[in-house]
Structure 1
Amino acid sequence: MAISELKLPEAVQLHELADARALAATLAHEVAERLRAAIAAKGQACVVLSGGRSPVPFLEKLAGEPLDWAKITVSLADERWVPVEHADSNAGLLARHLLKGAAAKARFVGLYQQAGNLDAAAASADQALAELPPIDVLVLGMGDDGHTASLFPGSPHLAEGLDPENTRRCLPMLAPSVPRQRLSMTRSLLASAAFIALAVQGPGKLATLRAALAGKDLSEMPIRAFLHDPLSIYWCP
């Protein structure tokens, strides 16, 4: 099944790219354009990004965009509860692939907090995120199980994390894979973004997207919480 055959909600726009390189370049350009517009309109901009391996080419492209980085705040949709120096740290990923050169002037608001346990770390992250400006751009990813950010099916606090009325900004989450302990922005904070993009690559993720569109149970596939909001999907084979 081709992605063009998917029955997408009216609020969802689809951008079909030839390959991963084209997706990274197109998405980076779109994100940069929206950040420039936000800076022009209000003097600052805020972008929330996702970690993992797939976004690396996009992050590298975005780092090279001519932006007034000193006026941009960067944060993460989720984080692994590991020190920044750890190989699995999303903050470390951004440091290596985005926050370098001119982009190093950006202000970074991370989720990782040193604490006695995950709950305490999430509470500290929640307070840190109180200083996050309104989100202009959010870039989400999607796992094969239908999770997004670290809103995983079966995780404790998932219902709270998916509650659109929840006032928490960050919650502790448990992933099925190592490292299991995660910190995630809540749906209520993520959905407040002015522009939301979802990057999807390959036939496996296309099958996941098709399954997500076919059902309504958010706890089964949390990505469903975002599929009926205004959303731009960037996909390549």
Structure 2
Amino acid sequence: MAMEPSTYPEPGVRLARLAGAVGLSATWPPTDEFLDVLAERTGLRTHDLLLVADLPVPDTAWLFDERAGASGSLVSCSLDLPAAGRRLLRVRARSTTAPAGTLTPWEPRPHERYPPGFGSLLLRMLALRNLNWLGTAKVMCLMSGVCKAASTIGAVGRGVKPLDAEMLDGFAATLGVPVAVLAELTGVRRSVAGPEPAPEVVDTAMLVWEIRHVTRDQESQLAEYARTLGRD
């Protein structure tokens, strides 16, 4: 059923595409220093790049409270806050640590076991942020205006729906990276040669990353704090 594997290049090619998008020369295998620089220039996380390169991601990266994840309320508040408020919210998020024993290893369900492809790669990046299909659909709609059903998100991951320009816009905003970076990686033509993501989108994508290891209760507390910042 998959549509992408025949055009899904080897890990070294994928990493070289990203490097080329930001003016770097890629080497294989990649060094830690190279991955750090590539992460900084692309806006992706080092763990995202490990997925791109088919290299092991630390087990601790997959520890979550699966009842949590970025809520629509928290994302909406973050997008609406001024820059100073978004900064304070991210500081609070970074200082929030889940109590011992409240996070458990993520195990993909049968429908989350994808064939090789760029759609599955992007969904695994979002899984690193504790976003499942429904969570991705909600956050993507708020951050990009690309509003799709959770089943459509899943179909892209399974390769039965192609990754098109509209979906590329949605994934880029949700990850907080320029569309041009994902376009170079995937080979999908951009819808428009637009600007990089707006500051509130980039900041909110950073927030989504920073809360990946919090509990549901802690996420609710952060959402309330964000609402308080919005009233100040």
TM-score (normalised: structure 2) = 0.28
The higher relative CO (CA closer than 8 Å, separation ≥ 6) is in 2
Q: Which has the higher helix share?
A: 2
TM-score normalized by structure 1?
0.28
